[in-house]
């Protein structure tokens, strides 16, 4: 059962640089245990910076100038570029086992066993048990699953996802989305999912916050927001989701 007490509270968060002024302006939202929240908006709207502020990993030159971030559980992040998040010179099982070893404080032998269990949970090949592989020897979707496994190895109460499906083809995107949904039900973590794709956020998240130019312009229950958007920018995002062409008989009706 989902708890009503917030596990994450972001209140009046403002981020800025000295040269460009505010990048995130007075952003507030909360998240309960086991809940899922989508931050949606176009590139440059402040979504990823908000996520990094929650984790305490703001880029150099950007600072928090106002507001608070309160968390009631540990957080872990799944990054957009899985290959960039992995060490190209270290096999993936070994990398994951290192995370388990340092975060869960178990023996080296137990670390490898837990790492292999996580990879199996995420649908990675059984062959990794016998022959470890480097990131370059895996597909983009497989690398993203390894990165998700690394985040889960930290046993987070809050999983932060920074556009983890953007660089993947649509079939793999769906697989990753289904995996995240299943794991959230099984493990009970809360999730903040950042994306510019409203359709993906709507499929994964019960609540949405729409961001534009560093501010939240609309928020609420996903179904209500999609059915009755009040902000023109939200309506524009909804309209930008391309529908499939209608098919008539054996031919195509694309005109």
Q: Which helix (H) or strand (E) holds 158?
A: strand 158-162
Q: Which helix (H) or strand (E) holds 17?
A: strand 6-17
Q: C-alpha distances in angstroms, 137 versus 82, 132, 142, 147, 177?
A: 13, 10, 10, 15, 23
- Looking at residue 1, what is its pLDDT? 43
CA distance 183 to 209: 23
Tokens 């999912």 map to which residue?
Answer: 193
Q: Are 205 and 222 in contact (CB under 8 A)?
A: yes
- Looking at residue 254, what is its pLDDT? 45
Positions of the chain with pLDDT under 50: 1-3, 251-255
- Looking at residue 16, what is its pLDDT? 95
CA distance 45 to 68: 19
Helix extents (H) in the chain: 47-55, 82-85, 92-104, 108-121, 140-153, 170-187, 198-204, 222-227, 232-239
Q: Are 24 and 14 in contact (CB under 8 A)?
A: yes
Angle subtended by helix axes 92-104 and 108-121, to nearest 10: 120
Q: Are 205 and 38 in contact (CB under 8 A)?
A: yes
| Superfamily of structural domain 1-74+157-240 | P-loop containing nucleotide triphosphate hydrolases (3.40.50.300)
- Looking at residue 173, what is its pLDDT? 85
Using alpha carbons, select from 57, 152, 48 the residue that is nearest to residue 100. 152
CA distance 172 to 60: 33
Exposure string for 187-212, b = 16+ CB within 10 A, e = fewer? eebbbbbbbbbbebbbbbbbbbbbbb
Start-end of CATH 3.40.50.300 domains in the chain: 1-74+157-240
Q: C-alpha distances in angstroms, 79 versus 6, 129, 214?
A: 24, 25, 20
Q: Are 14 and 25 in contact (CB under 8 A)?
A: yes
- Tokens representing 170? 């649509």
Render pLDDT for 5-57 as a digit per residue (tens, 0 to 9). Answer: 899 999 999 999 988 789 999 999 999 999 999 999 998 899 999 999 999 99
């Amino acid at each position: 059962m989902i708890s009503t007490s917030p596990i994450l509270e972001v209140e009046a968060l403002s981020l800025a640089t000295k040269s460009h002024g505010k990048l995130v302006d007075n952003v507030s939202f909360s998240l309960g245990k086991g809940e899922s929240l989508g931050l949606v908006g176009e590139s440059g709207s402040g979504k990823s910076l908000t996520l990094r502020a929650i984790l305490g990993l703001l880029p150099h030159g950007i600072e928090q100038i106002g507001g608070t971030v309160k968390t009631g559980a540990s957080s872990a992040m799944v990054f957009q570029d899985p290959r960039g998040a992995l060490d190209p010179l270290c096999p993936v099982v070994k990398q994951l086992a290192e995370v388990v070893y340092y975060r869960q404080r178990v023996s080296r032998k137990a670390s490898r066993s837990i790492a292999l269990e996580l990879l199996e949970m995420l649908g990675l090949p059984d062959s990794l048990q016998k022959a470890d592989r480097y990131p370059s020897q895996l597909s983009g979707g497989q690398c993203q699953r390894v990165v998700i496994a690394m985040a889960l190895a930290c046993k987070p109460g809050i999983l932060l996802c920074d556009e983890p499906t953007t660089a993947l083809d649509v079939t793999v995107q769906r697989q990753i989305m289904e995996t995240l949904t299943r794991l959230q039900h099984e493990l009970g973590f809360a999730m903040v999912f950042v994306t510019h794709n409203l359709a993906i956020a709507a499929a994964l998240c019960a609540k949405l916050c729409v961001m534009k130019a560093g501010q939240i312009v609309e928020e609420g229950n996903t179904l209500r927001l999609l059915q009755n958007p009040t902000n023109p920018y939200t309506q524009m995002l909804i309209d930008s989701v391309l529908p499939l062409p209608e098919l008539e008989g054996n031919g195509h009706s694309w005109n």
